Structure 1
C-alpha cells in the first residue's frame, strides 16, 4: 500500500486539520469534534447538515459554506459519525430556524443521525430529515436496506441549500427534498478497487481486465462483473440501465458525471462525451452538466452517472445559483 500519510489511524484527523488550515476563510473545525462548519452561519435560516464516513472527499465537508451545507459530520473512513458528533453538527448549524438532515441511505447513518435528531429535539432544536437513495444498482446491499445513497446526494445539497438560503422554512424544505429525491437516479462502475488506509489492502478484487457495474461507494458489490469494455460500451450500459428507472424522452435533465477518486479527468471527459451523446439520443434535453470528483471512494478508479429529471422549474434555478464552498465551483 502506497499512500501519502503518517499513521493510518490518524489520517482522518490530519485530513480535517489540513482542510481547515487551507480553507480557514470558509470553514472551521468545531473544537473536540470531527465536525466541519461554515465560518458565518446565517441567522434565521434553516441549517442543512449532512455527513457520513470519511474517504468520500470532497463530500461532505467540501460542500459546507454559503448556499449549501451549514455543517458536516465526518466519521472514520467508510464509517458513520457517531450520534454525539452529528448532534454537535446540528447544534452549530442551528441559527433559530431548525435543521434539516440530509442522510444517505446506509443503516449506520440512518441510526446515528436519527439518534442525534432525538437528542437535539430534547434540547429544543427543531430537526427533520430526508433520506437519499439514488443508486439504482441493487435493492439491498452491504450496510443498506433498500437502495444506497451515492453521488446524487450532492445535487440534494445544492438544491436544498439554495432553497434554504431563499428563506424557506423547515417543513417546506423537507417537502421539497422528499419530492426531489425520487427524481434522482445514479449508477456507477469500478475498474479498480479502493484501499482503506487502516486495512492496507483493497476492499475487493478485480482482475486486470475486469470491470464491475453497480459498485457501491464503499466497495459494496454491484450487479455484474465483465471484461473491460470501451468507454462507449460502459456509457451504453449505464444509460440503458438508468432508462429503466427514469424517463428520458422529452425530459429536461441535469447530469452529474462523478469520478470515484482515481479516475483522471481525461477519462472522465471521454466518458462524458459518450454518455451525454447517448442521453440526448434517448430524447433528453440536457440543461445542466457537472463533471469531476464529488463523491469519491478513496482511490477507487471508476465513474458514476447521475441523472435528475427537472420536474420542478425551481430545480434548475437552484442548481445554477452561485455558492461559496470548497468543492462546488
Structure 2
C-alpha cells in the first residue's frame, strides 16, 4: 500500500485538520468532533446537514459553505458517523428554524442519523430528512436495503442548499427533497478497486484487463464484469441503463453530473463526457446543466459515474446555478 499518510488510524483526524487549516476562511471544526461547520453569521435559515463515512472526498465536507451545507459529519473511512457527532452538527447548524438532513441510503447512516434526529427532538430542535437512493445499478447490496446513495447526493446538497439560502422553511425543503430525489439516477463503472488505508489492501480484486459495471462507492459488487473496452462503449452501456430507468421519450431536459471515482484523470473524464454528450444528443435529450469532476469518490478507485437529474421544475435550474462559496463545488 502506497499512500501519503502517517498513522492509518489517524487519517480522518489529520485530514480534517489539514482541510480546516487550508480553508479557514470558509470552514471550522467543531471542538472534539469530526464535524466540519461553515463559518457564517446566522440569519435564521434552515440548517442543512449531511455526512457519512470518509473516503469520498470532497463529499461531504467539501460542500460546506454559503449556498450548500451548514455542516458535514465525517465518519471513519467507509463507516457511518456516530449519533452524538451528528447531533453536534445539528445543534451547530440550527439557526432557529430547524435542520434538514441529507442521508445516503446505507443502513448504518440511516440508523445513526435517525437516532440523532431523536436526540435533537429531545432538545426541541425540529429536524427532518431525506434518504438519497440514486444508484440504479443494483437493488440490494452490501450495507444497503434498496438502492445505494452515490454522486446524485451532491446535486441534492446543491439544490436544497440554494432553497435554504433563499429562505425556504423546513417543510418546504422536505417537500422539495421528496420531489427531487426520485428524479435523480446514477450509475458507474470501476476500472480498479479502492484501498482503505485502515485495511491496507484493495476492497475487491479485478484483473488489469477488466472493468465492472455498477460497483458501489465502498467497493460493493456491481452487476456485470467485462473486459476493458473503449470509453464510448462504457458510456453506451451506462446511458442504456439510465434510459431504461427514466423511460425518456426525447425532448426532455436534464442536468448531467460526470463524477470521477478518485483516481481517474480529468483527461479521461472529459473523453467520457464527450461520448455521453453524443449519446444523449442522439436521444434528443437537452442538457441544461453540466458538471464534470471528482465530487463523490471512493479513495483511489479508478472509474467514473453518470448522474442525470430530470428537470421537472425550472426552479431547479436556478438552484443548480445559484452562487456558492464552498471548497469543492
1:95-244 equivalences in 2 (<5 Å): 95-244=95-244
For residues 164 and 251 of structure 1, the distance between their equivalents in structure 2, rounded to whole angstroms, comes to 27
SS at match of 2:246: coil
Q: Quote the residue 1:298 is aligned against.
A: 299
Task: Give me the TM-score of the superposition, normalised by structure 2.
Answer: 0.99
SS at match of 2:267: helix
Q: Quote the residue 2:274 is aligned against.
A: 273
- Per-residue Cα deviation, 1:257-303 (whole angstroms, up to 9, x for no partner): 00000000000000000011101111100110000000000000000
Contact 1:41/1:93 (8 A) holds in 2: no
- Per-residue Cα deviation, 1:76-114 (whole angstroms, up to 9, x for no partner): 000000000100000000010100000000000000000
- Structure 1: 5+ residue stretches without partners: none
C-alpha deviation, 1:132, in angstroms? 0.3
Q: Quote the residue 2:20 is aligned against.
A: 20
For residues 70 and 167 of structure 2, the distance between their equivalents in structure 1, rounded to whole angstroms, comes to 14
SS at match of 2:110: helix
Contact 1:43/1:96 (8 A) holds in 2: no
For residues 247 and 130 of structure 1, the distance between their equivalents in structure 2, rounded to whole angstroms, comes to 24
What is the CA RMSD across the aligned residues, in angstroms? Answer: 0.6
1:77-96 equivalences in 2 (<5 Å): 77-96=77-96
For residues 211 and 144 of structure 2, the distance between their equivalents in structure 1, rounded to whole angstroms, comes to 23
SS at match of 1:51: strand
- Once superposed, which parts of structure 1, at least 4 consecutive aligned residues long, lie more than 6 Å away? none
For residues 176 and 152 of structure 1, the distance between their equivalents in structure 2, rounded to whole angstroms, comes to 15
For residues 66 and 43 of structure 2, the distance between their equivalents in structure 1, rounded to whole angstroms, comes to 12
2:312 is the alignment partner of 1:311: yes
SS at match of 2:211: strand
User: How many residue pairs end up in the alignment?
Assistant: 328
For residues 89 and 292 of structure 2, the distance between their equivalents in structure 1, rounded to whole angstroms, comes to 28
Q: Greater shift after overlay, 275-284 or 231-240?
A: 275-284
1:241-260 equivalences in 2 (<5 Å): 241-248=241-248, 249-260=250-261
C-alpha deviation, 1:250, in angstroms? 1.2
